[in-house]
Amino acid sequence: MTFADLGLSDELLKAVAEAGYDTPTPIQAQAIPSVLMMRDIIGIAQTGTGKTAGFVLPMIDILAHGRARALMPRSLILEPTRELAAQVAENFEKYGKYHKLSMALLIGGVQMGDQVKALEKGVDVLIATPGRLMDLFQRGKILLNGCSMLVIDEADRMLDMGFIPDIEEICTKLPAQRQTLLFSATMPAPIKKLSDRFLSNPKSIEVARPATASINITQRLVKVDSRKKRDVLRAMLAADDVVSAVIFCNRKTTVRELNKSLQRHGFRSGEIHGDIDQSARIAELERFRTGGVNILVASDVAARGLDIKGVSHVFNFDAPWHPDDYVHRIGRTGRAGAKGVAYTFVTSEDAEAIDNIQKLIGQKIEAIGAQAVEAEKEDRREEKPRKRDRPVSEGKAAQRAEPQPVPTPARGRRRDMADEGPDEGWNGPVPEFLSVGFDF
């Protein structure tokens, strides 16, 4: 099957071909015809399966007919994070270059004035995060009663971030007669409830079992002492096959500290987390995409949906607290049919988290490194006797057998010690006052 078999326009097929694609992914092949038929969709697909194009492509053809009005977007795409929203906007620009569609990106962390101006001109496609959208709606800067198409992307991530009440309120502001597309990697009960309430006779498309990792990704658990994490990570990053890597940490402070440590050791690394403003985050991602840095240390703000080609490895420096996050983290590699490797560092405190991950994905992840750690401990044990040139037990016996030196009198004791040379704690000249003896 090719994209030409899906019923897309010639202009759209030309843009897709110029982007280097000719064969649709399973989610695209199943979703695109149904979206063009104006059906509601529930799409269950793991990250990296191409679901963004699965709704962007048919939306462009549907919106090609019609005209935008001021403050009234014709379609709305809700994304959980700024990065995902920006990525969807890039997709619209890439695939819609032969269509005269207007688009606005409504996200936090940037000036609101420019966004309001774009809305006042009228937009065909509005891509937004729920928080900024609700803010402008409450200010009276946007009207949603002209929106005929709604996309709720990464719905399970919306749930994790507490956006479901906002989404429910947004849905009540939209026309009852509309087309709604809901995409999610998993289908927890609250998302099922949301779909039952706001979707009309939806077609359900599932191209992968919920919360499964891509078969293109080789997964490994690395057993490591928590104090040795950085040492082990640097050794693994130095391997020849690590072309580019995303390293995930649970805390923003860990992201900052680890990035500084890697830079001190000569690695080309950058960082991205929630405390960095939007312009800096975009700039850092662009540096990673273009090869300015080949290692990106990130918090879970970057775990969902970021499509960065060529990521060869993912390292979970911290085992994720939530099992769902594991699937999305490792999904940054092995994208678009490529092979990838994902390592998760495991300490003694992570046993429960790893059990939950393995239950969620339905498979046991191979553990490595346990023997290497034990061997390292043995090496350290063997190094101690070598430093003393004899076994410890023999040394104690010899110490008991040898005659002990007779203590020297107090007078001249400091001089005698000085003559033998300074001890290990001092390698400079001996101060004069240490050469003076005292009589008691």
Q: What is the pLDDT of residue 271?
A: 93
Structure tokens of 110?
A: 């940037």
Cα 226 to Cα 91, 124, 357, 373, distances in angstroms? 41, 51, 20, 12
Task: Tell which phi-psi region holds residue 369, choosing left (phi > 0), alpha (psi between -120 and 50) or beta.
Answer: left
**How far, CA to CA in Å, does 317 sit from each of 232, 328, 384, 385?**
10, 15, 31, 34
pLDDT at 223: 93
pLDDT at site 392: 41
pLDDT score at 208: 65
Phi, psi of 251 (to 5 degrees): -120, 150
Enumerate residues 6+ apart whose C-beta is below 8 A from 108: 82, 129, 131, 132, 278
Residue 32's pLDDT band, with cuts at 50, 70 and 90, is: very high
Domain 217-368, classified CATH 3.40.50.300, yes or no: yes
Of residues 125 and 156, more confidence is placed in 125
Average confidence (pLDDT) over 42-59: 88
> Of 89-98, 109-118, 344-353, which range is least confident?
109-118
pLDDT (tens digit, 9 = 90+) per residue, 293-306?
999 999 887 656 56
Token code pair at residue 350? 């992570």
Average pLDDT on 257-264 reads 96
State yes or no: pLDDT of 130 exceeds 60: yes
- The type of residue at 380 is R
First-to-last CA distance in the chain?
A: 102
pLDDT higher than 80, residue 158: yes
Question: What does the mean pLDDT of the chain come to?
Answer: 82
Fold of 3-206: Rossmann fold (3.40.50)
CB 259 within 8 Å of CB 234? no
Asked whether residue 247 carries a pLDDT value surpassing 70, the answer given is yes
Nearest to 155 by CA among 195, 183, 181, 133: 183
How much is the pLDDT for 126?
A: 96
Question: Are the CB atoms for 217 and 328 separated by under 8 Å?
Answer: no
- What residues does CATH 3.40.50.300 cover in the chain? 3-206, 217-368
- Cα-only R_g, the chain: 31
C-alpha torsion angle, residues 193, 199, 200, 204 (rounded to 10)? -80
Pair 60, 92: CB distance under 8 Å = yes
Residues contacting 393, CB < 8 A, separation 6+: none
Region 312-320: what's the mean pLDDT?
A: 95
Q: Could you give the CA distance from residue 125 to residue 75 in angstroms, rounded to a whole number?
A: 5
